[in-house]
Chain A
Amino acid sequence: MKLTNLHIGYSTTLLEIQELNLEAGKIYALIGANGRGKTTFMKTLIGQIPAISGGISIGNKASSVLSPIEKSKLFGFVQSRFAGVPYMKAKEYVALGRSPYTNAFGRLSTKDEDIVNQSFSTLEIEHLADKFTEELSDGERQMLAIAKVLTQETQYIFLDEPTAFLDYSNKKKVLDKLTEIAIKLKKTIVYSSHDLELTLGHSDELVCIAHEGNDVRSFRKNEIEFEGLVRFCFGVNSPN
């Protein structure tokens, strides 16, 4: 996915991206203070919000020409919290990720069933399959939401603050799994966070939104200078 001269926002430009390449097999952390447009940024990339100007291209194709069903086979999006649904079992939930591929009545083929089971085993959460989604913990539900997006078999996976509602050990667990998935399954993963310390160990590149203005800059892992990064994103000096 390639972004060039992209202007993002609703009526006025909120963010401006000169150039950014999102590659397969890599994991990107989108860093920015609260209310700076992380979600808007991601929703624009998956085509839910139209860009003000500039382009998003995938291969040689502009993303603006994609149909809803094409988008659903290309982009997966995990919302920051899945609160569970009454009477819905984990397996039923994860299987909904197959919707773009199933027939008019949503019937799962044996291949679809295999993909669902595969997602559970990739995330090592097979033991949750027959439980009701409402009875699980936040950490377990976050894993389920990731399993669902895996069954959707999209090249691009976007996650909106996937660790916001989790305790430290679950935060680490989720980010470890995402890093592993990016490498093993050659996915392009982008997740947003304002937890700078945690993301450093769990990303190939940091995409940073400035604390004021429209600037968005990306930093490779080896070129990160922590102090400057904190000032750029949050407008304060690092406490360390």
Chain B
Amino acid sequence: MRVKKNRFLLLVLLVILPIAFVCHFAAGEISISWSTFTDAWLHFDSSNSEHLIVREFRFPRFVMACLAGSALSVSGLMMQTLFNNPLAGPYILGINSGSSLFVAISLMTGFTFFQNDFGLVSSALIGALVFGFIILGISFKIKQGISLLLIGLMLGSFSGALISILQYLSEANALKMFTLWAMGSLQQVQTAQLPFILLLFFLGMIASFFIVKPLNAFVLGETEAELLGISIRNIRLLIILITAVLTGLVTAFCGPIAFIGLAVPNLVKIIFKTQDHRILLPASLILGAVFLVFCDIVVQLFAETLPLPINAVTSLIGAPMVIYFIVKRIAR
């Protein structure tokens, strides 16, 4: 009964996604007809500016909204399960702080790993991985998930402080560039970068689908999972690695996008009323995409009158949701 209902709900979500695509496309500043959209792919004319808008702006922006929403939601879900805490998210581990710190360093001191278009992206990815590996290294020593959570928070404050110092010392132009990045944007991605992003995204997703069984056991806590024959160290390592790649990827290309990783998995649990990750994982994946596409539609609708950064919109919608969860949980 419940299983059937949940499958139906998943199907509903899947149907909403193409609808969201249509709305997202239609909400763009310059209205473009659907025939132009198909023409842009079937009979591409590089001198036609509408074709260029479709191929270089609208389409990658939509794809990126889907990927970022999914990746952050799935990461959030896995963090919440790993730490047995509904308030955990990809940010809590400090992975995102790693990205921010490295981007701040490269923007405000001029130090970059690669002197090309990929400079900023590589800094963010390397930062995510470096902090991911720090947490990973500590996770070999520490058995309790809750201590790891605290260490993640400490890493966050530590890099936050370093960033503040950098901001204080840096010149106006660099400061502006960093602030813009920190606001988040789905528009920075170019079509040529999509294959690389898709590859990493799918690798992360496939890996997470292969750990649904350990994730289900982790819901009962690490002690219980161990009693059920699950190697907790290996699984914890895998979860942190997958989260570092997925979060790092999104942060690199879109900047730090808040709240999705925290809000969406909680929403999914409320809707589906289960702890079975065979349902929660695909549901977070789809709902995450729908949520961020929806936020980006809002951004596009206000683009002319009030240019809102995507990060402001996710927080504006996400923050009240999170407050609602906390109040509802504690009030019970």
Residues of chain A at the chain B interface (Cβ within 8 Å): 46, 48, 68-69, 71-73, 75-77, 79, 85-89, 92-93, 96-97, 99-100, 102, 104-106, 132, 152
Which listed residue (B226, B229, B278) contacts A48, Cβ 8 A? Answer: B226
Q: In the complex, what's the smallest C-beta–C-beta distance from A236 to chain B, in angstroms? A: 33
A48-B227, A99-B229 known; 19 new pairs, CB 8 Å cut-off, are: A68-B230, A69-B229, A75-B227, A79-B224, A85-B220, A86-B275, A87-B269, A87-B270, A87-B273, A87-B274, A87-B275, A88-B274, A89-B274, A100-B228, A102-B213, A104-B210, A105-B278, A106-B278, A152-B228
A92–B216 Cα distance when bound, in Å, is: 10
4 A-B pairs with least C-beta separation: A72-B229, A106-B213, A69-B229, A99-B228
Which listed residue (A68, A72, A106, A152) contacts B216, Cβ 8 A? Answer: A106
Instruction: Kindly state whether residue B2 has any CB partner on chain A within 8 Å.
Output: yes
A48–B227 Cα distance when bound, in Å, is: 8
Asked whether A100 and B229 contact (CB < 8 A) given A89-B2, A105-B278, the answer is yes
Most chain A CB neighbours (cut-off 10 Å) among B213, B227, B272: B227
Instruction: Kindly state whether residue B157 has any CB partner on chain A within 8 Å.
Output: no
Instruction: Kindly state whether residue B193 has any CB partner on chain A within 8 Å.
Output: no
Which residues does chain B contribute within 8 Å of A100, judged by CB atoms?
Answer: 228-229
Contact present for A99 and B230 (CB under 8 Å): yes
Which listed residue (B216, B223, B329) contacts A99, Cβ 8 A? Answer: B216
Number of interface residues of B (CB under 8 A): 26
B207-251 vs A, CB cutoff 8 Å, 1 = contact: the mask equals 000101100110110011011111100000000000000000000
A93–B220 Cα distance when bound, in Å, is: 9
Which residues does chain B contribute within 8 Å of A68, judged by CB atoms?
Answer: 226, 229-231
**Across the two chains, which residue of chain A brings its CB closest to B276?**
A92
Which residues does chain A contribute within 8 Å of B86, judged by CB atoms?
Answer: 86
Which residues does chain A contribute within 8 Å of B230, judged by CB atoms?
Answer: 68, 99
Which residues does chain A contribute within 8 Å of B212, judged by CB atoms?
Answer: 105-106
Residues of chain B at the chain A interface (Cβ within 8 Å): 2, 86, 210, 212-213, 216-217, 219-220, 223-224, 226-231, 269-270, 272-276, 278, 329
A96–B275 Cα distance when bound, in Å, is: 11
- A and B contact pairs by CB, cutoff 8 A, 19 listed: A48-B226, A48-B227, A69-B229, A72-B228, A73-B229, A75-B227, A85-B220, A86-B329, A87-B269, A87-B270, A87-B275, A96-B216, A99-B216, A99-B217, A99-B229, A104-B210, A106-B213, A132-B273, A152-B228
**Across the two chains, which residue of chain B brings its CB closest to A158?**
B227
Contact present for A79 and B269 (CB under 8 Å): no
Which residues does chain B contribute within 8 Å of A99, judged by CB atoms?
Answer: 213, 216-217, 228-230
Most chain B CB neighbours (cut-off 10 Å) among A99, A104, A132, A152: A99
A92–B229 Cα distance when bound, in Å, is: 18
Q: In the complex, what's the smallest C-beta–C-beta distance from B10 to chain A, in angstroms? A: 16
**Across the two chains, which residue of chain B brings its CB closest to A88?**
B275
A100–B224 Cα distance when bound, in Å, is: 12
A86–B268 Cα distance when bound, in Å, is: 13
Which residues does chain B contribute within 8 Å of A96, judged by CB atoms?
Answer: 216-217, 220, 228
Which residues does chain B contribute within 8 Å of A87, judged by CB atoms?
Answer: 269-270, 272-275
Which residues does chain A contribute within 8 Å of B229, judged by CB atoms?
Answer: 68-69, 71-73, 99-100
